[in-house]
């Protein structure tokens, strides 16, 4: 009886080992899904929310930021600080700082920006052991904007998406009646000519 149980146990163990080895063998010839970062970079989706950056106007080369501080007001963890510089033709950001180490990558600042001045990049490439290096000033934010590819989203594109669709043309409805019996809709005989 004892040797019968022992034999069943051995068969179970051998079966388990063979199954595990089969799984190993199957995966041995599979194409790897990892990449050798940073030598090789993954292709990020167009809506990737990576590093934040400030942009320049591509035609005039001017800073897009007008120092309106909307991003500062909307930021949930309050990591953005902007000082406005008033000027004759337009306003600028005199100073702009962003504490990236406390950012939630929620994209709200991008969504509210009226001039597409703040955007997110398709990269998270900022390795550091010193948190102070992640306190980004205006110059560094502009540099990031030049060095990396921007994500698809800008404030204007996102707001366009949120525009509610136009209401459908109203269907011809019979005039409303006051009696409870008519509340469910007029019967054919009662429909006005």
Is 76 a binding residue for ligand SF4 by CB under 6 A? The answer is yes
Residue 93 to residue 101: CA distance in whole angstroms: 22
Using omega within 30 degrees of 0 as the cis cutoff, is the peptide bond preceding 38 cis?
Answer: yes
Is 51 a binding residue for ligand SF4 by CB under 6 A? The answer is no
Give the residue, chosen from 67, 119, 123, 153, that forms a contact with ligand SF4 under the rule CB under 6 A.
Answer: 67
Tell me how far, at minimum, the Cβ of 80 lies from ligand SF4, in Å.
5
Site string for ligand SF4, 105-124 (x = CB under 6 A): xxxxx--xx-x-xx------
Q: Could you tell me which residues are beta bridge partners of residue 82?
A: 96
**In what order do the strands lie in the sheet containing 135-136?**
80-85, 92-99, 135-136
Give the residue, chosen from 53, 103, 136, 150, that forms a contact with ligand SF4 under the rule CB under 6 A.
Answer: 103
Residue 81 to residue 85: CA distance in whole angstroms: 13
Is 158 a binding residue for ligand SF4 by CB under 6 A? The answer is no
Number of H helices, E strands in the chain: 5, 5
Q: Interface residues with ligand SF4 (CB under 6 A)?
A: 52, 65-71, 74-77, 79-80, 82, 93, 98, 103-109, 112-113, 115, 117-118
């Amino acid at each position: 009886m004892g040797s019968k149980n022992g034999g069943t146990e051995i068969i179970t163990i051998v079966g388990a080992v063979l199954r595990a080895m089969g799984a190993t063998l199957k995966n041995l010839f599979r194409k790897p899904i990892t990449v050798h970062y940073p030598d090789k970079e993954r292709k990020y989706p167009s809506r990737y929310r990576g590093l934040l950056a400030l942009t320049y106007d591509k035609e005039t080369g001017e800073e897009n930021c007008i120092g309106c501080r909307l991003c500062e007001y909307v930021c949930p963890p309050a990591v953005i600080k902007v000082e406005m510089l008033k000027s004759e033709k337009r306003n600028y950001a005199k100073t702009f700082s962003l504490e990236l180490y406390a950012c939630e990558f929620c994209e709200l600042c991008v969504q509210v920006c009226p001039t597409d001045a703040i955007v997110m990049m398709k990269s998270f490439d900022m390795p550091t052991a010193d948190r102070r290096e992640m306190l980004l000033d205006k110059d560094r934010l502009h540099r990031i904007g030049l060095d990396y590819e921007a994500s698809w989203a800008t404030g204007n594109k996102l707001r366009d998406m949120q525009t509610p669709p136009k209401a459908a043309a109203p269907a011809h409805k019979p005039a409303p009646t006051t009696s409870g019996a008519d509340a469910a809709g007029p019967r054919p005989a009662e429909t006005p000519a």
